[in-house]
Amino acid sequence: MRLSRWLAAGSAAFVLAGSATTPQSAQAREIVGFAGNYSSGTIVVKTNERALYYVLGNGKALRYPVGVGRAGKQWTGTAMINGKQLRPAWSPPAEVKRDKPSLPNVIPGGSPSNPMGAAAMTLSGGEYAIHGTNQPSSIGGFVSYGCIRMFNADVLDLYSRVGWGTTVVVTR
């Protein structure tokens, strides 16, 4: 099932007021030295480091800790951000529903049980997103079905920095 079907957000997805998500510290992100042949504004996810880099240019990047795909769920490649939603609703894909049949068909945006957290940026290809989380303790682990998880404060920061069409490169 395509991620666009998972995110059944409607207009409520674009409202931040009244968020039921717990705020996390924004201190996790930091500006670091960064080598690589990437243009400013590119997002680079290094799954082995469990880090997402937002390339600033001049040998610098903003580094965020992330949770990445668990064994057998990791992927590599290049995608583009093709959607942005605040407080997205979530419908578990078939694979997740198979593993956790008690999940409801839709979890409303802003619900404490919604695993998408404060914001989501969908990636071209239709399967994955960079998103917040309702489980901040999962950040830094191999924990997802392939999506990139961030602290809610960090995903909101990144969300404000990027637009549709931003290149996302996922490496090991």
Question: What is the domain class of 3-24+67-171 according to CATH?
Answer: mainly beta
pLDDT tier at 9, thresholds 50, 70, 90:
very low
Among 29, 50, 84, 131, the active-site one is 131
Closest CA to 117 of 11, 20, 9, 5: 20
Q: Is 26 a catalytic residue?
A: no
Domain spans of the chain, in order of start? 3-24+67-171
- Average of per-residue pLDDT values in the chain: 85
* Whether 147 is catalytic: yes
**What is the structure's pLDDT at 126?**
79
pLDDT of residue 149: 97
**What pLDDT score was predicted for residue 45?**
98
Start-to-end CA distance of the chain, whole Å, equals 25
Return the higher-pLDDT residue of 9 and 73: 73
How confident is the model at residue 12, as a pLDDT?
Answer: 29
Model pLDDT for residues 73-125, shown as the tens digit of each residue: 999 999 999 999 999 998 888 888 899 899 889 999 989 889 999 999 999 98
> Given strand 51-57, what is the order of strands in its sheet?
30-33, 60-65, 51-57, 43-46, 167-171, 77-86, 119-123, 129-131, 148-149
Instruction: With beta carbons less than 8 A apart as the criterion, state whether 72 and 154 touch.
Output: no
Question: Alpha helices of the chain — where are they, by DSSP H?
Answer: 3-6, 94-99, 152-161
Among 3, 62, 116, 147, the active-site one is: 147
* Structure-token pair, residue 14: 């674009």
Say what percent of the chain tops pLDDT 70. 84
Nearest CA among 44, 4, 33 for reference residue 166 = 44
Q: Which two tokens stand for residue 92?
A: 């578990």
